[in-house]
Amino acid sequence: MKFSGFPVARRALMALAVAGLVASQALAPAQAADNPKVQFNTSAGNFVVELYPDKAPKTVANFLQYVKDKHYDGTIFHRVINNFMIQGGGYDAKYVEKPTRAPIVHEGREALARGGPRNVVGTLAMARTSDPNSATAQFFINVHDNAFLDASSQSPGYAVFGKVVSGMDVVDKIKSVPTGPGGPFPSDVPKTPVIINSATLVK
């Protein structure tokens, strides 16, 4: 008799657990839908990136401000390395570096601590110098799983703040273009410029 209530209680707990799971699954798409998206119209085609302000808020805010300021319009992918990454957003088609705002605070370890993605294929991070707090406008898209770029206790790494959600075939096309010297760069520059015609906030 003393165990007579157990199955009922167990069923009730299981029902609550299932209800909670269903609720969390229902919320997940809505949360993802709230993330800002930016469409890149390039000379190689279009692709769209989704940004993660809950993982790297300072980095996303910085990137979106450059988008809103039309900074990326007319810039090129000036560094393309197959099986590594494609980098752009800093130079125009004549290799003139565009002026930028002040550098941002690096969020590598913080982004990972918030459950942010790692530097895997299709993800975005900001380019910088050896100083972690030096990123301004230039960004890169990983075209390979680059675990060595992730933050760790030994390295600040590179904070992933978004991911390509459509048009990855365009990114793959860009990563495969022939490269060589160009402008002030001794190598890895597309022989035919890959131009970002526009970067537009679509959501």
- pTM for the complete prediction? 0.84
CA–CA gap between residue 107 and residue 115 (Å, rounded):
12
| pLDDT tens-digit readout, 84-129 | 999 999 999 999 999 999 999 999 999 999 999 999 999 999 999 9
| pLDDT tens-digit readout, 113-125 | 999 999 999 999 9
CATH superfamily of 35-201: Cyclophilin-like (2.40.100.10)
Cβ proximity of 104 and 85 under 8 Å? no
- Average pLDDT, rounded, for the chain: 88
Domain ranges of the chain: 1-34, 35-201
Nearest to 199 by CA among 56, 89, 101, 59: 89
| pLDDT tens-digit readout, 130-183 | 999 999 999 999 999 999 999 999 999 999 999 999 999 999 999 999 999 999
